[in-house]
Structure formats: structure tokens, C-alpha cells
Structure 1
């Protein structure tokens, strides 16, 4: 019933006439309870104005600062068969200690004298290179001798050409002299004939001049033949000159061709020598890979492979080791909404699983069992869990982290931001707003200077 009608109202005033109702109103503890409630209300309102440190929480695990200090597996670089183990799980190994010995299983490397045989082949090829050097030098000397002989023969032929030219010149002068004699003999003959007609010369003189003219005519023919023979000798000398050049250039070209062939064979042999050197070095290095050693000091965590006579492929993990010396750190993950507020070098509070801790996230000064850290690396690509990875190192200005921490144990972090009232933080959280963007004192001063 809603008791809306005036006739259905309860008569509460009639209850006051009873003594029990009067005693309830006069009891003092109700007044005290009211005062306590009012006090709690005032106290709660005052708490809303207390300062609250905004923070970004994260959850992660203990790791190492440097990649070479983290747990690692040791792989086999070659395929092989496990023959002997030198360690057991939990052993401490130094850098270079033998962990396991494997034997060869590939047929290309089964020869026990493979390295020595390859070295012998390499030495034989080196001697072949030396032989080609000798052949090339001999051909070089031969080419030089051919060139010298060609020069001498060429000079000799040039001298013959010069002699032929001089002989032609001499025969030409003799021919001209004979022609002059012919003219003189004809003149004398004609004069003798004329004087004979005039009766001044006898007929015997005419016959004598005719005979002399015939002799001179015969001599000019001989001289012309001699002149033509000298020209032929000049042509023959020039032909000989060209023949000498052609002959010795052919000899020189053949020798140079043999030399280039020898050089080509030498280069090919040198390439084979280099290839054999590479094979020899590879085989020698491979022989050292049968003993798998520790890359650094550490403890053997787990033997991934087991047994004797088991075949493994190259790149197969054999054992897992943990370095003995490492710089501890914490990797934590933060939400994408908080990622823009994180900066390298900011200070963070860290507490670890299994370590006594009392944490007041908004009042870091009242927290107990937390340790100081500093952000040293921020991953700019989101991880598979949908958050960003942040690496935190110990803060050198704060107390040291516990030495009992082990790699992989859980850790939680708080990145401290700005100080705001509690009521503002409650209002921000209810509305889903991000924390206030934090600025250090130096950044604030720089902003003021810009303004």
C-alpha cells in the first residue's frame, strides 16, 4: 500500500505515549553513533583532498640487462653423432670447457686423412703454379730473342734495300754515260761520212767510226739490262723486308699466344690453389667443431639432447646454460594507453615475488619492500600480449636489489607520475581518462623559457 489516502495514515503520535518509545529516544549511544558517523564523513571528505601520486603499473619478470648474459642454448654447427659427454646438469663450466664430443656422419668428410690429402693437393697445385711461372719466363725470353733477331734481320734487309738503291743510281749514271757515248759516236760517224764524201777522210775511218757506233749501241743495251736488274734487286730487297717482318711477327705472335695460354693456365691453377686453401681451412676448422665447448662461464641448466650414438643436425640445441655473471634487470609490460607517458631515464618502483612487500601505489613513501629502478630501454613495437615491453635496470641512487633474485622470477612495477588530489584520481579513473602527462623540472623550465 502506498498510503496515499489521508484516512490510512498511521497514527505515530499515539506511539509516543508508550514508555518504551520514550526510553529509546533518550538513550545516549545513539547520539555517540551519530557523532561517529559524522566524523567518518568529515574524515572521508578530508581524505579526498590528500595528495595522490599517479602511477603506471606493470607486470613482468626478472631478466638480465645485456643479451649475452641471458640463458642460452649451445648448438652444434655441424651434423654428427654424439660420442661422449663431459658434463652433467648443474655443473659449472668455464669458457672453452668441452661439453660433448661428436663424430662425423657425412660421407664427404669420413676420410680420416682428409685434411692431409687436401694439403698435399694444395702443395701440388702450388708447384704447378711455379712451373707455369718458369714457362712464362722462358716464353718471355723467347719473345725477346725473336724481337732482337727480327730487328737484326730487318736492319740487314734495309741495308740491302739501300744497296739496291745505290746500285740503281750507279747503273743509271752508267746508262746516261753510255747514252752520251752513243751520241758522240753518232756525231763522229756522221762527221766521218761527210768528210769522206768531201774526200777529206778515207773510207777506213768511216768503217772504224761505224764499228765504234755499233759497239756503243750494244753497250747501251747491256747497260739498260743491268739497270733493270738493279731495279729488280731493289724490289726483291723490299719483298724480303716485308717477308722478314711477316715471318718474325708470326713467330712472336705464336710465342705470345703460348705465353698467354700459360698465363691462363697459371691463373686457373692459382684459382684452384685458393679453392683448395679454402677447403683445407674449412676441413681444419671442421675438425675443431667435433668438440663442442662452452662460450662463456656459466651453469649447465639442462641437457636438451641425451644418450650416446644419437645423430644431431647442424643448428640443433644440445644444452642450455646460464651465465655465472650478469647484470640483473626487470622487463615489464605496460598498456598502450600509458605508453606515451613512459620515457627513458624515468624512475620506477619495483617489488619482486617472494619478497616481503607492502605497497601503497598512491603513496610510494609509505610503501615497504620496494626497490628503485630506472628505465633503460623502451620497445616501440607492441608485443604479442598487446602491451609494450620496457626494460628496467637498478637505480644506482637507491638501495641495491636483493642478491637472492633468480632470473625468470615475477616482478611488478610502478612508474610514478604527477601528484593530484585523491578526488581527481577517482574522477579520472571512473571516466577512463589517462594520467596527467608528467614533466620533469628541467622540462618545465625549458617550457617556461620557450614561453
Structure 2
């Protein structure tokens, strides 16, 4: 069996395609140079690598707020100068924008009643004279009471001495009476014995008569001594009564003097009590010149002195003064959502209005024209709208001091950023996208 072999057609030889530049010469004119292609590749790589590198760059978390410059001392803040009395504005000694020193006259007031001050002076003089007389009376009554107490003591001592003497006389009379009674008993026995002996004829009539005479004499003497005892007892009772009467009289006189002293003290207290409001009224009326309470600048004049002068009441505002600030702070309001993240002493970056600045929030170290501060005070409660006030003072460790007082005047607005923790940039972006709060710094021990 034979196999037929068929010849296959041979492929034509490969034909080389010429370059397009040779076919189309115009393409040579729009050809991209090799340098440009390399630059493009570099830019592409940079655009890819830079976001990746920045994602791990450190980012400073912060809480933003706005506020203004104020004085930390409330006395050094803007304050109103008020009228101390009801009067008429006579003339001003200052103009708006003028700087004043403490106790420098600001305005002169004129009372509507020109004789009121004179009457108040007379009333004060009368009350002062009344006080002087009351004090003199108190001093005199005090000396009188001391003398009365001394006199009472002497009178009582003398009366007690007389009573003691009367008591001694009574004791002596009692002793003498007892002695005489014993003698009487003895002579009675002798008389009775003489009677018996006479009956027996042992004694004579003369001896009996002598015994009888002695007995009667002793009996009479006993009566006299009894009378002397009764007299001594009456004298003792009289001395006791005199002692009680003299003490009672002296006490009554002392009580009367003490009552007069209490009345004089009451008069003194009443006069002093009446003098105080009168002095206040007089001093207010004498305050015709209202002076500057502190050193500062007159901000506004609120009363007119022309056409007879404006009538003002006590407490009306006459002018507004802005004291010189020594201890400047920035008052910043922050949201209540950020308040738990704040702490006293936390660092703050400040940008003052009108001061050229370039602020990089996440990189405060490269910011230009901002100033360092730290939190000095955080209000314990909000302002009624959910915002909290913080006071920021200069940071002594910052190399850039705050502007001078000529630039940093009260009321200059400021932007503030309270610095928190440093985190990677990707973390901050992820936190912002998810609405998480910033990282709270750990409190220092």
C-alpha cells in the first residue's frame, strides 16, 4: 500500500517592519525624553512613599478654643467708677484715653443742697460732744463707785468692830453676873448660918447684922449686874442693827451709782451708734472729688458736665477705667466635650489677633508666631451654655515671651490649642474618622 506524499506550501520569508519614526517622521517630534520618564517614575514613587511615611509621623493631639486677653487679678480688670452720692457733675479733670494714677482726681461733684454738709458737720459735732460728756460721766461714776465700795468696806469694818466690842461686853457682863451670883449664894449661906448660931447664942447680934448686910448688898449687886447684862445685850443688838443698816445703805448707794453708770454707758453706745451713719453721710458729702481707684487709662466718660451738669444718683456709673495689666492671662472657652481632657499645667499654644503667625496644629514645634502657655485655672462649672472657661498664663519654659502690654491689651482676641498626647498620624486620621476622643495624658504622680 503506498502513501501519497503531498508537498506543503513554503511560508514566505519573515518581513522586517520598519520603525514608526521612519514611517511617520512627525512622531520623532513628540517623543518623551528619557530624563522626563525617569522624573515621572520618581514622582510616582514619592507620591506612594510619602503618605506611607507620613502615616507613621508623630502628630500632636490638641483641643482648640478661642478667647481674649484679660487680667488674672479681678481688681485689675475693666471697672466702672461710680458716684458716691446723689449730686450734680460739676467738671471733669480727665478725657477719654488719658492715663491716670491712683487717687488722681477724675471728676468733681456738686451737691444739690449747699447747706447739707454744714448741717451734717454740726450734727457730727453735737454727737461727738455728747460722746465726750458720756465718757467723762462714765469715768466719774467709775471713780465714785470705787470710793463708795471703799467707804462701804470701812463702814462695815467699823460696825463689825463695834459689834465685836458689844459682844465682848455681853460676855464680860455674863461672867460678872455668874461671879456675883456665886458670891450671893455664899453670903446667903453665911447669913442663914449666922441666924442659926444667933438662935443658939453662939454669935452676937452684931455679927448677924453684918452677915445680913453683906447678903443684901450682894443681892443688890446681883441686880445691878443683871441690869448691866441686859444693857450690854441691847447694845449688841443695836450694833448688829447698825451693821446691817450701814451695809444696806452703802449697797443701795452703790447700786444707784452702778445704775447711773449703766445709763451713761447706754448713752455712750447710743451716741456712737448715731454717729456712724452721720459720719458716713458727711464723708460721702465731702467726697466731692471722685478719684481713680487704680492706675490705668480712662476708657469712657458716661456723664455730661455741660449745661449745669448731669444729675447722678449714688451708684450711677460716671466713667470706665481700664487698669494697667501686670499679670496677663488668656481667657479661652472650650466645649464641654473637651473639658474632661484638660488639666491644670497642660501646655497651650496661643495665636494672638493681629500678630503674624503660621500655625501647624499637629506639629507645634514648626509653628511660627505662636506663643507658649500653660493652663492656670479651669472653671468648676460651665457658663450656662455648656462651655467651660480656662485661664492660660505664660509658660516660663517657653523661649518666646509674650508680646508687651502695648500690643497685648485687654480684650485682644486669641486662638488657643491645648496640647495633649503625641500619636502617629494614621491613628489621628483613624480616630477622626471614627469619632473617638483624643488620648488623655496620664496624670503625673
Range of TM-score over shorter length:
0.7 to 0.9
State which of 429, 432, 441 in structure 1 corresponds to 2:432.
Answer: 429
State which of 150, 156, 173 in structure 1 corresponds to 2:179.
Answer: 173
User: Per the alignment, do residues 68 and 47 of structure 1 end up closer, same or farther by CA in structure 2, a change over 3 Å counting?
Assistant: farther
Query: Is 1:289 the counterpart of 2:293 in the alignment?
Result: no
Query: Is 1:119 the counterpart of 2:125 in the alignment?
Result: yes
Please tell me whether the aligned partners of residues 94 and 297 of structure 1 are also in contact (alpha carbons under 8 angstroms): yes
User: Per the alignment, do residues 186 and 311 of structure 1 end up closer, same or farther by CA in structure 2, a change over 3 Å counting?
Assistant: same
User: Per the alignment, do residues 425 and 252 of structure 1 end up closer, same or farther by CA in structure 2, a change over 3 Å counting?
Assistant: same
The 2-side partners of 1:223 and 1:156 are apart by: 27
Q: Name structure 2 gaps, 5 residues minimum.
A: 1-23
The 2-side partners of 1:161 and 1:438 are apart by: 99
Match of 1:393 in 2: 393
**Matched residue of 1:112: which SS?**
helix
State which of 78, 81, 90 in structure 1 corresponds to 2:97.
Answer: 90
The 1-side partners of 2:420 and 2:177 are apart by: 123
Structure 2 matches for 1:297-446, cutoff 5 A? 297-307=295-305, 309-396=309-396, 397-403=398-404, 404-438=407-441
User: Per the alignment, do residues 257 and 319 of structure 1 end up closer, same or farther by CA in structure 2, a change over 3 Å counting?
Assistant: same
Structure 2 matches for 1:32-111, cutoff 5 A? 42=48, 45-46=51-52, 49=55, 51=57, 52-104=59-111, 110-111=116-117
TM-align CA RMSD = 3.8
User: Per the alignment, do residues 252 and 106 of structure 1 end up closer, same or farther by CA in structure 2, a change over 3 Å counting?
Assistant: farther
| TM-score normalised by L of structure 2 | 0.76
| TM-score normalised by L of structure 1 | 0.75
User: Per the alignment, do residues 251 and 38 of structure 1 end up closer, same or farther by CA in structure 2, a change over 3 Å counting?
Assistant: same
The 1-side partners of 2:167 and 2:441 are apart by: 106
Number of corresponding residues? 407
User: Per the alignment, do residues 414 and 137 of structure 1 end up closer, same or farther by CA in structure 2, a change over 3 Å counting?
Assistant: closer
Please tell me whether the aligned partners of residues 138 and 265 of structure 2 are also in contact (alpha carbons under 8 angstroms): no
The 1-side partners of 2:373 and 2:207 are apart by: 143
Match of 2:239 in 1: 241
Per-residue CA deviation, residues 64-95 of structure 1 (Å, 9 max, x unaligned), is 34433322222234444433332232222221
**Matched residue of 1:241: which SS?**
helix
Per-residue CA deviation, residues 399-451 of structure 1 (Å, 9 max, x unaligned), is 344443443232212233344343322211110011223469xx5xx8xxxxx
State which of 225, 228, 238 in structure 2 corresponds to 1:227.
Answer: 225
User: Per the alignment, do residues 82 and 49 of structure 1 end up closer, same or farther by CA in structure 2, a change over 3 Å counting?
Assistant: same
Higher helix share: 1
> Deviation at 1:188?
2.4
The 2-side partners of 1:177 and 1:259 are apart by: 58
User: Per the alignment, do residues 382 and 28 of structure 1 end up closer, same or farther by CA in structure 2, a change over 3 Å counting?
Assistant: farther
Match of 1:148 in 2: 154
**Matched residue of 1:187: which SS?**
helix
> Deviation at 1:59?
1.7
Question: Which deviates the most, 290-299 or 304-313?
Answer: 304-313
The 2-side partners of 1:353 and 1:159 are apart by: 105
Please tell me whether the aligned partners of residues 353 and 414 of structure 2 are also in contact (alpha carbons under 8 angstroms): yes
